[in-house]
């Protein structure tokens, strides 16, 4: 027996025409990635040089930071324009953008996530404060990533005396999505997935644009056998199903039941983070955690704050929330960022961003690649390397308290930590505290206007953002103010009249001492 909605990925991509706009669901590290469609589209283009001049839109960075995901379709001629929330996971597409081979935009992840709902509803676009005074603001860069990108897709408007950004809607012709199980009518469940992301919003937007929605799934079920509460994409929105039994949950995990919420794993045996300068930063940031608060953690050093806080036995209760729609649990790090074990709830990403944008986060810990004297932060463009903002702008602009985490310099930094002090053995090649950031991913001016509390934590110093810029608040024991801090900053900060030493306990490896004590006993 054949089913009208079951087809091959090759047949699905044949329905794409020159100039179409294609929405690709999923997130970095293989999360909900519809890989079969991307590979089939690449093969069609290589074999026939069609379709051409496509516009791709992806809410996050889809790939593995190598040659997977959106890198499959990163071919000159196939791509006319790429509108992405993040670019670090798709280096081949980022290379096309940096070489001016395609038109390229970077918009906040939450904006793109919510914009699909506006498209689905037939509304003119998304109106929000998110992105004001950052590189997304058309008075700065308008989210454009290179010289060949000239069309404005963001506007400044005024509503009741307040500036807002307007992101216009546009029709979308094709959607490539992924789920776990489809029935014969195209109803899609996602029981083995680690997140729901933007799947429903994308499917509604494409369907209501008169386009076609194709979904990759692991298995096919009989008609009317799926529980209606488990259906995340109704069959009325789905035009084609591709069965891909070998699909993995992420590029790392074939299926981790703790990510899907099917099993809760014990947390007492989680591996400890190595004691070094990065852990010191995470420990100092953990001291800022609010009691009974809702906290977001970024990647890198900031992503380890929760685990470090557990090791420190801080007597505080808090719940983590990440932009992929997950609330509670233990967020994963590295290439699997965006999933979590032991989640309390898994919600849809557009709704999570509603919560974030409205001030629902009590605190966030995020990374910092560059910081200038005005408190502007860049994480989205490092030299010619395009990484993108992801959910950073939504989160950084709206959390009540913001803690940036990063080493004072980068590129070969070596330190010695002993006897409650830190010593710089070899300085990093690159300064992070610069005269002017390469790109404004976080606006210090906007933070001052809103009264946001902003702290910058490094292994040797802690700064806060004041009305006149950076203020040095704490210095690590063993650090020389002029040699190790001021001489390595392009612009000098104000120094607090109450300058104090960072807590010396941060510079003692308590876990190692505990192990020594156990050994002696």
- Reduced to 3 states (helix: H, G, I; strand: E, B; else coil), residue 232 is strand
Helix or strand holding residue 357 (H, E): helix 349-357
How far, CA to CA in Å, does 99 sit from each of 76, 94, 96, 135, 437? 11, 9, 5, 20, 22
Strands 461-466 vs 453-457: parallel, antiparallel or unpaired: antiparallel
Q: Residue 139 and residue 125: Cα distance in Å, rounded? A: 19
Q: Phi-psi bin for 159: left (phi > 0), alpha (psi -120 to 50), beta? A: beta
From the list 323, 370, 427, 474, the catalytic residue is 323
Helices 199-208, 109-121: axis angle to 10 degrees equals 40
DSSP per-residue letters across 66-131: SSSGGGGG--BTTEEEEEES--TT-HHHHHHHHTTSSEEEE--HHHHHHHHHHHHHT-SEEEESTT
Helix or strand holding residue 510 (H, E): helix 510-520
Q: Residue 348 and residue 79: Cα distance in Å, rounded? A: 29
323 is catalytic: yes
Helix or strand holding residue 446 (H, E): helix 444-450
With the C-alpha atoms ordered 7, 182, 263, 346, is the resulting torsion angle positive or negative? Answer: positive
Please identify every residue annotated as catalytic: 323
């Amino acid at each position: 027996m054949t089913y009208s909605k079951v087809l091959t990925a090759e047949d699905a991509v044949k329905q794409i025409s020159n100039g179409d706009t294609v929405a690709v669901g999923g997130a970095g590290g293989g999360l909900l990635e519809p890989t079969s469609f991307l590979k089939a589209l690449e093969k069609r283009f290589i074999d026939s040089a069609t379709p051409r001049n496509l516009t791709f839109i992806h809410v996050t960075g889809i790939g593995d930071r190598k040659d997977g995901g959106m890198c499959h379709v990163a071919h000159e001629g196939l791509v006319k324009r790429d509108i992405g929330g993040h670019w670090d996971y798709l280096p081949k597409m980022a290379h096309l953008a940096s070489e001016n081979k395609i038109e390229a935009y970077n918009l906040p992840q939450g904006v793109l996530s919510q914009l699909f709902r506006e498209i689905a509803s037939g509304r003119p676009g998304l109106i929000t404060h998110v992105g004001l005074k950052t590189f997304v603001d058309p008075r700065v860069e308008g989210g454009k990533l290179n010289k060949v990108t000239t069309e404005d897709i963001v506007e400044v408007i005024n509503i009741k005396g307040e500036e807002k950004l307007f992101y216009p809607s546009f029709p979308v012709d094709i959607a490539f999505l992924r789920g776990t199980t489809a029935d014969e009518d195209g109803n899609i469940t996602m029981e083995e997935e680690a997140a729901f992301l933007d799947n429903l919003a994308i499917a509604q937007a494409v369907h209501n644009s008169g386009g076609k929605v194709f979904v990759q799934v692991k298995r096919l079920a009989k008609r009317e056998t799926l529980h209606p509460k488990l259906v995340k994409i109704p069959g009325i929105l789905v035009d084609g199903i591709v069965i891909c039994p070998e699909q993995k949950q992420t590029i790392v995990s074939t299926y981790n039941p703790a990510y899907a919420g099917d099993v809760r794993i014990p947390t007492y045996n989680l591996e400890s983070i190595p004691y070094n300068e990065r852990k010191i930063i995470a420990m100092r940031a953990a001291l800022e955690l609010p009691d009974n608060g809702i906290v977001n953690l970024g990647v890198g050093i900031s992503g380890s704050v929760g685990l470090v806080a557990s090791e420190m036995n801080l007597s505080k209760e808090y719940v983590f929330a990440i932009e992929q729609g997950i609330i509670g649990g233990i967020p994963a790090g590295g290439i699997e960022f965006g999933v979590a074990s032991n989640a309390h709830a898994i919600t849809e990403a557009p709704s999570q961003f509603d919560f974030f944008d409205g001030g629902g986060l009590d605190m966030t810990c995020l990374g910092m690649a560059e910081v200038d004297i005005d408190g502007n932060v860049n994480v989205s463009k490092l030299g010619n390397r395009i990484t993108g903002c992801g959910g950073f702008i939504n989160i950084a602009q709206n959390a009540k308290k913001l803690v940036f985490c990063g080493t004072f310099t980068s590129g070969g930094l070596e330190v010695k930590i002993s006897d409650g002090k830190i010593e710089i053995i070899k300085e990093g090649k690159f300064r992070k505290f610069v005269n002017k950031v390469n790109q404004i991913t976080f606006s210090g001016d906007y933070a001052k206007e809103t009264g946001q509390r902003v702290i910058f934590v490094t292994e040797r110093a802690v700064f806060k953002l004041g009305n006149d810029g950076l203020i040095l608040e704490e210095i690590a024991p063993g650090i020389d103010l002029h040699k190790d801090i001021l001489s390595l900053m392009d612009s000098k900060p104000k120094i607090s009249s109450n300058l104090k030493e960072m807590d010396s306990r941060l510079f003692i490896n308590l876990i190692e001492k505990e192990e020594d004590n156990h050994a002696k006993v």
